[in-house]
A and B are shown apart, each in its own frame.
Chain A
Amino acid sequence: MRTPVFFLVALLAFVPLAEAKKAPVSVKKLPASAQGAVQAKEVSLVRVNVTGQPYDYFRPWQKKAPFSKRALGAVLPHDRVLVTADLVANQNYVELERAESGEKTAASVVVVDYEANLALIEPTDKNFLKGLQPLELALDTVVGDRLAAWQLESTGALVVTEGIVTTIGITRYPADVADFLTYRLSIPMQYRDNSYTVPLVKNNKLAALLLRYDPRSQVLDAIPAPIIAHFLKDATGAKYQGFPSLGIAFFPTRDPQLRAYAGEESKTGGVYITSVEPGLPAAKAGLLPGDIVTAVEDHNIDQNGNYVDSLYGKLGFSNLLTAKAYVGDTIALHVLRAGKPLTLNVKLEHRGEEDYVIPPYNIDDPPSYYVLGGLIFQELTRQYLKEWGNNWEKDAPQDFVYLDKYQSELFPEGNQRVVILSQVLPANSTIGYDDFSYLVVKKVNDKEIRSLADLAEAVKTPLNGFHVIQTVDDPKQLELDATEVAAESDALQKNYGLPALQRLD
């Protein structure tokens, strides 16, 4: 769900790499009797060591150098360990380590949800977690509660830092796909090598997991237990479904002129629907742009898009469709259309990253590519744009960023990919083309290109011995000699050390 009202979350995630040398200034240990702390022997934490190796989207045939992350995992019932998804992103090898003994075992990722930033891992040795007390969930955290962040000393002893929950609201999660319930805490936490997954505990129950922390303002955002519970319940099913998504964008109806225009004469609530993505649940149920959604099930929605939650008070209504609803549920949307009330029953679905024209994330799967005589073709993904670094929205080619940001407007029918000519490896067949890069491909050999598979198919039939590539922007067209391309391909592959000239899905 997209909303034009932005929450600017200027918090930084911990930088977990190679910074372990920064020694904590002071360590405040709470006495064992303090809230949240338990005996080290029973600490429900294990260390999780992950070696990750992301793909290199600039050289899509290879992976970047491996690097290791060290974190904590919360031990849950059924011998499972909960961590954040970004810890295990692009992992090659995961192991669990008993904090008090240093004993290790290999582990595997059972379920991962990059949108909610949660993952479950399982030790190979089923007895490995014996003696550790599994954590139950504390679902009743409210503003004003004190939560304890659990970290570990190198000896395995527990370090407990207390913070207070200042805000509970809906914020955008790091995958930048959806907004979820978030706890915000004020907490003076120290930097440790295990800051990837820091459990936040209330009365010895798991209340949240660290999402991001800004050491300067000492503000911590956490993935709350209700989201974790949703994830765990979903994970017990045969197939993990993910969180539902309606496929709408909305706008507050505070402006009386807009309300009058939309046929809402009373002064009650509702949000103005600005767009409905074709093929997604809201569109399937018949919701239209210009509708005013006044209630979800029996929860009225105010002019800003909030409902009154029994636990938290006013909260963004998307919580009703994420934390409180599951894929397959049917929920009632109460709508005003041109002043007339209407009820639409929406069957909830999850929108996977593959359901976008430009996928918002692409983790663990290798990027596809196709090399044709030194021209490298790829599908445009946000993962590719993120290769430009933290400032990618400014630094990446701006027409690509534009395509990504406005993809639902620009490709209303969806059901395609954007194929780009990302770069050119100089070769005999590409002389004079060296400077071309970042071009959107329109046609190859007179066939419309809507995916890399289309391109692979199109190059099978050159036109009179030429591969004819048409691009949206200049040069608009470039041609290759099909015979020369075929003759040169082995040499090209060897010369640039390409393991293969193509990788399709």
Chain B
Amino acid sequence: MHHLRFLTCALALFIAAGTQAQPNGQIQASLVRITSTEVEPDYRAPWNSGSIGRGVGAGFVIDGQRILTNAHVVSNSRYLTVEREGDPNKYPATVEFVAHDCDLALLQVASPTFWKNMKPLGFGGIPALESTVSAYGYPIGGERMSVTTGIVSRIDFSLYTHSAIDSHLAIQISAQINPGNSGGPVMQSAKVVGVAFQGYSGDIAQGVAYMIPTPVIRRFLKDIEDGHYDRYVDLGITYTKLQNPAQRHFLGLNDDDRGVLVGTVIEAGPCGKILQKGDVLLAVDGHPIASDAFVEFEGERVQMPEVVERKFKGDTVKLDLLRNRQPMSVDITLGTVWPYFMQAHSYDVRPRYVVYGGLLFQPMSLDLLQAYRINDLRVRHYFDFFVTDQLYLQHPEVVILTNILPDPINTYLLPYRSSIVDEINGKKIGTLQDLARAFEQPVDRFVVKMVGDGPPLVLNPKEVESARERIKTRYNVLQEQNLDEQPPAKPAVAAKDNI
């Protein structure tokens, strides 16, 4: 991901006039260079171990002999080493915790020698707009520490591209950040104020880089205190602003610029069966919600989800709301919303699949669609509306016939490619596990009904069995199925009705 790239443009040399002390102290004593050898899964040949690559990123030492870096620096890693400034040794490291939803990870290094003279960095708060910050790291893979400076340009919710679905607070800075800066500290007054993590490629925007601010880092460090990372929690609802006077009047709201309108309540989320479409949310934990969905929180005006963002799995949040003009209050026990995970990148897992009769079946996911570049309108619809149209209730996993390994027994089946499996012999297929079980039934014929008006796909188990070894050998299918390396997504336990 962060391969060394050579810049073809000429580098201008600037000679420093005089010497100036490092305003943030000796960062060299805290900064590490991380080399990760990663294995990226191959969704198109999921029985293979995948392609091997190597990347370089940065990290820094924090309290408790731990190294903080980005999740994307160590994702899918099989072997990790860290190096310090002025030390020729490479020290093997291991991932202790990784949080893909906020792109942070903690590493451990076993060697006591490594920790000698290493100084942990302390954390600061949210730096002021326009104040100067310095970013440290190994941009474009260089071996010596690099420093760039810039100012704080904007503080807002932003998409964290590592997972592709999570948005958290992020700080935009004008310091140059390039691949290899990832995971490095951004400092102000000798304190860490962020971890550099993403930017734009030069042809989209320049001088726009993002760092993970300390509230997100602190939340990560607190979450793992119990020895397990539980992910961010979410309300699992959609809502719209309530700025139209007639609509406010219709809903029986006062003329006080408060409230947002609940649109969709995701049944598998913590608000399922508690909130309803049409509810007006008025306050979250006592903080009034403005009609543009902002709340006053810890002295800042932030978007409503920020209040929930700071909480943890199992925590409760109190919502004041208006339902059919009647005020009421509910306590929501927070948790994750599993259907969203399908739309996120996944890491450190092996792809799950079933090969039967040369037909490759795989559950729909962002990584799968990208690997196959599936443009089928129906598949894209199932992907886009999986959560909001609650399609996961019928299909907790959307099982797609992604590929066909040609053989005489399946030679006429090509038109079925990219179809979604709906039923096998009259039984609904909700997960890959369902499909694997259905194909184990002792019957004379499998009739696979796909979603939509197409013809059924018919398989003769005897023929499939006779072709089995032939197909395995011809296409070097090392293993015919992988169901268990990542347990199938299960609906969350129904939220307790605590209205």
User: A-side interface residues toward B, CB under 8 Å?
Assistant: 4-5, 249, 251-252, 254-258, 260-261, 272, 274-275, 289, 393, 398-399, 401-402, 405-406, 408-409, 429-433, 466, 468, 473-481, 484
Contact = CB atoms under 8 A, between A and B. Distances in A.
B12 to A, nearest CB: 43
Given A255-B412, A405-B377, A432-B241, A480 B455 contact: no
B244 A466 contact: no
Contacts of A249: 453
B391 to A, nearest CB: 13
Interface stretch (B136-144, B164-172, B246-254): B246-254
A291 to B, nearest CB: 12
Interface residues of B, number: 39
Main secondary structure of the interface of B (DSSP, over half): mixed
B242 interface: yes
B280 to A, nearest CB: 11
18 contacts: A255-B412, A255-B458, A258-B412, A272-B455, A398-B380, A402-B377, A406-B377, A409-B453, A431-B243, A431-B245, A466-B249, A468-B250, A473-B388, A477-B261, A478-B244, A479-B251, A480-B246, A481-B246
Interface of B: 238, 240-247, 249-251, 261, 263-264, 277-278, 377-378, 380-381, 384-385, 388, 412-413, 415, 445, 447, 452-460, 463
A279 to B, nearest CB: 16
Nearest to B375: A394
Nearest to A271: B455
Nearest to A258: B458
Contacts of B455: 251, 258, 272, 274
A474 B243 contact: no
Given A257-B458, A393-B377, A480-B246, 4 more contacts: A258-B412, A258-B456, A261-B458, A479-B246
B365 to A, nearest CB: 19
B244 A476 contact: no
Contacts of A257: 445, 458-460, 463
Nearest to A483: B246
Nearest to B243: A432
A261 B377 CA distance: 28
A401 B375 CA distance: 13
B453 A479 contact: no
B377 A5 contact: no
A169 B447 CA distance: 33
A235 to B, nearest CB: 35
Given A5-B415, A402-B377, A474-B264, A409 B244 contact: no
Contacts of B454: 4, 251, 274
A465 to B, nearest CB: 9
Main secondary structure of the interface of A (DSSP, over half): mixed
B250 A406 contact: no
A475 B447 contact: no
B413 A466 contact: no
A474 B388 CA distance: 9
A476 B246 contact: no
B31 to A, nearest CB: 44
4 closest residue pairs by CB, A with B: A432-B243, A474-B263, A255-B412, A481-B246
B153 to A, nearest CB: 25
B413 A255 contact: yes
A60 B281 CA distance: 37
Given A399-B381, A432-B241, A251 B415 contact: yes
B412 A254 contact: yes
Contact of A432 (B244, B278, B377): B244
Contact of B263 (A261, A402, A466, A476): A476
Contacts of B413: 255
Contacts of A406: 377-378, 452
B244 A431 contact: yes
A258 to B, nearest CB: 5
A481 to B, nearest CB: 4
Contacts of A254: 412
A261 B250 contact: no
Contact of B277 (A256, A432, A476): A476
B376 to A, nearest CB: 10
A430 B244 CA distance: 7
Contacts of B277: 476
A267 to B, nearest CB: 14
A15 B380 CA distance: 32
Contact of A401 (B243, B261, B278, B377): B377
Contacts of B458: 255, 257-258, 260-261
Contacts of A258: 412, 455-458
Contacts of B456: 258, 261
Contacts of B415: 4-5, 251
Nearest to A476: B263
Nearest to B456: A261
B377 A429 contact: no
Nearest to A474: B263
B377 A433 contact: no
Contacts of A480: 246
B452 A409 contact: yes
Q: In the complex, which of the residues A257, A399, A479 has the most CB atoms of chain B within 10 Å of its own CB atom?
A: A257
A327 B11 CA distance: 76
B414 to A, nearest CB: 10
Q: In the complex, which of the residues B240, B243, B278, B463 has the most CB atoms of chain A within 10 Å of its own CB atom?
A: B240
A225 to B, nearest CB: 33
Contacts of A272: 455
B55 to A, nearest CB: 33
A247 to B, nearest CB: 12
A433 B261 CA distance: 13
Given A272-B455, A477-B278, A432 B460 contact: no
B290 to A, nearest CB: 13
Nearest to B357: A257
Nearest to A273: B455
B247 A479 contact: yes
B246 A429 contact: yes
A251 B247 CA distance: 51
Contacts of B445: 257, 260-261
A466 B251 CA distance: 11
A398 B384 CA distance: 9
A193 to B, nearest CB: 37
A116 B277 CA distance: 48
A274 B246 contact: no
Contacts of B246: 429, 466, 479-481, 484
A287 to B, nearest CB: 14
Contacts of A399: 381, 384-385
B453 A408 contact: yes
A484 B381 CA distance: 38
B263 A475 contact: yes
Contacts of A481: 245-246, 249
Q: In the complex, which of the residues A272, A401, A477 has the most CB atoms of chain B within 10 Å of its own CB atom?
A: A477
Nearest to B264: A474
Nearest to A254: B412
B244 A479 contact: yes
A397 B398 CA distance: 23
Contacts of A405: 377
Contacts of A274: 453-455
A345 to B, nearest CB: 25
Nearest to A394: B375
A476 B264 contact: yes
Nearest to A289: B453
Contacts of A260: 445, 458, 460
Contacts of A289: 453
A385 to B, nearest CB: 13
Contacts of A466: 246, 249-250
B381 A398 contact: yes
A105 B114 CA distance: 94
A81 B108 CA distance: 84
Given A249-B453, A251-B454, A406-B378, A432 B264 contact: no
B250 A479 contact: yes
B275 to A, nearest CB: 13
